[in-house]
A = this chain, B = another copy of it.
């Protein structure tokens, strides 16, 4: 049986939202949608793997078209196959993508490669005729658990937004079955943020827990001031207080904040993840790691990150990735991550779940769709199919 990648297509799409976090506004945000077209036929249709680059980092059309796609297309197809010869070996494809790349400098290209890697894993699972999460569980001798914890991320600083709108937004997440909700902090004064937090806590009562996210805005002094304020409340976590590379700040913060903290969405390689674990003072009994494979060279690299964690005594269940995409849902269900982010009202049609999947008690159940499952989400699949047509 021939298994070849016959084309790689990319289109850069707006993924804008009228929101801002403490660092950037999202009105010009884009994402790359990628289709890896194979010559394999399943159920009478050509197998196409799809990927997109999560959110929060820009689309990578330039790098994908100018540098990465051609490496795969020019490779001898035989060198990309697994031992059976019946499917693509994602690690071999990854090595080809990263040929002639120097070490270090993990940004942008990590997004380009992560997006292509997602599409390759989608194709590989479709060729195997299985949901990706089941394929991953099998390959790692685990039992897949299709029930995955998800939390609702929102609470941005909309223009003109006041606390009643914020409360209504959070109420909406509870009505949709979430039991952990997240809001932004650091885009207003500490006093205003305290008032926003109290308003939300009053709204959600004992029905849910609240996480807060500073998006890396704080210097050490501000991060500590917020820690002292935040520790008055029973928060689910205090996320990304300082610059993602300021491990010293993160480690210092543990002296002031005994509750759970979370970070990692802006670290894009297993080398950076290892530095966070080595130097960031993160505590494996309570803290959370949010590395997003779509921004970080994909699942092949994420597996190396999970190995780093294991070496340092961390369970994969401490990982709840950034991004709210179905790729991380599959990794969570297949490899035992602690859950996944979800943006109920944002970044559509890219984020979210297959149609018909409902959040119940803060969990979703993965349907048994071949590949990542994009075909189960009609509005997203419409975009993808158009790219591959």
Contact = CB atoms under 8 A, between A and B. Distances in A.
Contacts of A377: none
Interface string A238-254: 00000111111000000
A252 to B, nearest CB: 12
A66 B57 contact: no
A23 B102 contact: yes
A101 interface: yes
Contacts of A99: 24
A86 interface: no
B104 A245 contact: yes
A109 B109 CA distance: 9
A102 B275 contact: no
B267 A246 contact: no
B100 A268 contact: no
B245 A100 contact: no
Interface in A75-112: 99-110
B103 A216 contact: yes
Contacts of A268: 104-105
A61 B108 CA distance: 13
B57 A61 contact: no
A307 interface: no
Contacts of A248: 278
Contact of A103 (B23, B63, B269): B23
A266 interface: yes
Interface string A105-141: 1111110000000000000000000000000000000
B62 A66 contact: yes
Contact of A104 (B62, B63, B101, B107): B107
Nearest to A12: B66
A245 B245 CA distance: 11
A67 interface: yes
B66 A266 contact: no
A46 interface: no
Nearest to A264: B104
A65 B62 contact: yes
Nearest to A98: B24
A106 B104 CA distance: 9
Contacts of A65: 62
Contacts of A216: 102-104
A42 to B, nearest CB: 34
A56 interface: yes
A38 to B, nearest CB: 26
B57 A102 contact: yes
A15 to B, nearest CB: 13
A54 to B, nearest CB: 12
A105 B388 CA distance: 30
B103 A57 contact: no
Contacts of A256: none
A11 to B, nearest CB: 13
Closest CB pairs A-B (n = 9)? A62-B62, A105-B107, A104-B266, A108-B108, A104-B244, A245-B271, A107-B107, A103-B216, A24-B100
Interface of A: 12, 23-25, 28, 56-58, 60-63, 65-67, 99-110, 215-216, 243-248, 266-269, 271-272, 274-275, 278-279, 295
15 contacts: A23-B102, A24-B100, A25-B100, A62-B62, A62-B65, A63-B63, A102-B216, A103-B216, A104-B243, A104-B244, A104-B266, A107-B108, A108-B109, A245-B271, A279-B279
